[in-house]
Amino acid sequence: MTTTPSSPSEARNPKLVWDNLLAGNARFAAGKPLHPNQSVNRREELRMGQSPRAAVFTCGDSRVPVELLFDVGLGDIFTIRTAGEVVDAAVLASLEFAVEALAVEVLVVLGHESCGAVKAAAAVALDGAEVPTGHQRTIVEQIMPSILSAKSAGKHTPFDFERAHAEAIRSKIMGISPVIKEAVKSGKTAFIAAHYSLADGSIDYLSVEGV
């Protein structure tokens, strides 16, 4: 069995795909990455199409390079990114494409430490800071419900808010995408909320369905 989650010849196995992603992250965190699937031959193989076994929806933060964090390579992960993991129609369409057309076995919402978008939303929701102008307002307004819900549950730190937001986004997507909900309920796709630590490079999963 390969250590990467992208091998079309293997049978569907969401748990194995997630385990392999975690193993790759452990290598990254330990400073011992293998850098798989990054060769010229790999690029050539992918010219005819892609068959990633995982999709990750995460923040646009430059400190969260998904392929590096999971120690995978070209064609291994279908990645969607917005500031603060904010969901819109394009994000949902992209996630549904990953589930339906690409048949990914694992879908991950990945929050992260020191998220500026979550910090900004918390400042507005809890400290009375001004709402940003322009389109940035949308980011803050969509994250604020996660902050308020977390506070009502007795959570008060940025770390708590980041993790609560990732879980809230996973639940939100399940609630508004019948395509993804059916894939998860049928066992075709596992859906995971996780959190990345900038400090030690580790990824901790928060909630999971389908593994």
Neighbouring C-alpha atoms within 13 Å toward the C-beta of 175: 7
- Cross-strand bridge partners of residue 112: 196
Residue 112 known to bind ligand: yes
pTM: 0.92
Neighbouring C-alpha atoms within 13 Å toward the C-beta of 181: 8
Residue 115 known to bind ligand: yes
Residue 156 known to bind ligand: no
User: How far lies 9's CA from each of 5, 13, 42, in Å?
Assistant: 11, 12, 16
In tens, the pLDDT along 34-69 reads 999 999 999 999 999 999 999 999 999 999 999 999
Mind listing the pLDDT tens digit of every residue in the chain (211 residues)? 233 444 444 588 999 999 999 999 999 999 999 999 999 999 999 999 999 999 999 999 999 999 999 999 999 999 999 999 999 999 999 999 999 999 999 999 999 999 999 999 999 999 999 999 999 999 999 999 999 999 999 999 999 999 999 999 999 999 999 999 999 999 999 999 999 999 999 999 888 887 7
Residue 61 known to bind ligand: yes
- What is 14-209's CATH number, 1.20.1440.230, 3.40.50.10190, 3.40.50.970, 3.40.1050.10? 3.40.1050.10
Domain residue ranges in the chain: 14-209
Supply 106's token pair: 């694992």
